[in-house]
Chain A
Amino acid sequence: MDLVPKIGESYAPSVSAPAPRFLAARLLVAAQLASVALYVAGAAIPYLFLFTFQGTTHCSADIGCQAPGDALPGVLGWFAVPAILIAMVGPPLATLSLLMSFTSLARRRRQMPDGLRRWMYLAGGLTVAFIAFTLTPPGRLLLNWILD
């Protein structure tokens, strides 16, 4: 008998391999959900409360355009930092994360626990909605507010 296991072969053939934990897929779901949540909480909701509900946009005739730094005082401004990054580089990166979701689901959806599979579909759907929203006029308005 050959004492040296071949590459890819188990060192202890009699012990069954532990169930895969799908760490990368879980991280991907977490990253997708976190970026959508941060975008909504840090950019969309503040904009609604600061401007849209007052019936204005961030550019008004009397005080000019207000950047997030002017409009959000102190700690709230820091809270918006991740949202600012996500609004700028989020859509292209979200596209990459969707490609990874597809690859992972296509290869291993049958081995995944049911819960994880459902979360992956849900997070993927939310990410598509996020990308679509950033291309609509309100999404572009948010981006231009952030770029001010």
Chain B
Amino acid sequence: MTDRLWRAQLTLVWAFGLAVFAFLYALLGGVHGGNSNSVYDMVYGPLPEGTSVRGSITQPFGVLTLLAMVAAWLVPLLAALLAWRGRRALKGEGEQSLRDRIQAGTIAAYVIVALYLTPVGWTLVYGLTRWTAMNIWGEGPDAANLG
């Protein structure tokens, strides 16, 4: 049971939380051309008829989405690892305050693993990946000819 394990768990939780932050932030903007009442459509659906989005590598917010995408892909692997490591560590002896922190971190890691088994996790990964691609390469019939 070490402080390093707790720090890794805390980093994992914040990385996941910041990926969710970037996802919710991108839902507010118009990466996908417009605000729909259905989040499902905005993540999985095609762009509205006749709409194209121009991509550019220099978009500042594209970098945010890109980082969030990387986090969203890596988080489930790390969460599984840290949940297992935490469970093993909690079987041993340790100082009470460190034990409390690792217990919280382990529960959080389990919750994150569970979320990736539900549409919440897949949507996060799919949405961030699609919007990153859209930010860089654009999407739609006129994507190459815009501005």
- CB B114 to nearest CB in A, in angstroms, measures 14
Flag if A88 contacts B13 (CB, 8 Å). Answer: no
CB neighbours of B101 from chain A (8 A): 106-107
One digit per residue, 1 when the CB lies within 8 angstroms of any chain A CB and 0 when it does not, for chain B 13-56 equals 11001101100110110000001111100000000000000000
Known: A91-B24, A143-B35, A147-B35. A106 touches B17 (CB 8 A): no
Tell me whether A140 is interfacial, beta carbon within 8 Å.
yes
Flag if B17 contacts A144 (CB, 8 Å). Answer: no
CB neighbours of A99 from chain B (8 A): 13-14, 17-18
CB neighbours of A135 from chain B (8 A): 27, 39
Tell me whether B90 is interfacial, beta carbon within 8 Å.
no
How far is it, in angstroms, between the C-alpha of A143 and the C-alpha of B108 when the chains are bound? 30
Tell me whether B58 is interfacial, beta carbon within 8 Å.
no
Tell me whether B67 is interfacial, beta carbon within 8 Å.
no
- CB A94 to nearest CB in B, in angstroms, measures 9
CB neighbours of B18 from chain A (8 A): 99
Tell me whether A85 is interfacial, beta carbon within 8 Å.
no
Question: Which residues of A (88-143) have their CB < 8 Å from a CB of B?
Answer: 88-89, 91-92, 95-96, 98-99, 102-103, 105-107, 109-110, 131, 135, 137, 140-141, 143
Complex: chain B residue closest to A102, CB-CB: B13
- Interface residues of B: mostly helix, strand, loop or mixed? helix
CB neighbours of B108 from chain A (8 A): 102, 106
Flag if B37 contacts A140 (CB, 8 Å). Answer: yes
In-complex Cβ contact of A137 among B13, B14, B38 (8 A): B38
Tell me whether B105 is interfacial, beta carbon within 8 Å.
yes
- Interface residues of A: mostly helix, strand, loop or mixed? helix
CB neighbours of A96 from chain B (8 A): 17, 21
Q: By the criterion of a CB under 8 Å from any partner CB, how many residues of chain A are at the interface?
A: 23
How many chain B residues sit at the interface, stated as a range, is: 20 to 34
In-complex Cβ contact of B37 among A102, A105, A144 (8 A): A144
CB neighbours of A141 from chain B (8 A): 37
How far is it, in angstroms, between the C-alpha of A140 and the C-alpha of B20 when the chains are bound? 17
Flag if A92 contacts B104 (CB, 8 Å). Answer: no
How far is it, in angstroms, between the C-alpha of A89 and the C-alpha of B24 when the chains are bound? 9
In-complex Cβ contact of A98 among B17, B25, B28, B100 (8 A): B17
Q: Which positions in A face B, CB cutoff 8 Å? A: 88-89, 91-92, 95-96, 98-99, 102-103, 105-107, 109-110, 131, 135, 137, 140-141, 143-144, 147
Given contacts A91-B28, A95-B21, 15 further A-B contacts (CB under 8 A): A89-B28, A95-B20, A99-B14, A106-B10, A106-B105, A106-B108, A107-B97, A107-B100, A110-B96, A110-B97, A135-B39, A140-B35, A143-B28, A143-B35, A144-B37
User: Can you name 6 A-B residue pairings with CB atoms under 8 Å?
Assistant: A92-B24, A103-B13, A110-B97, A131-B24, A135-B39, A137-B37
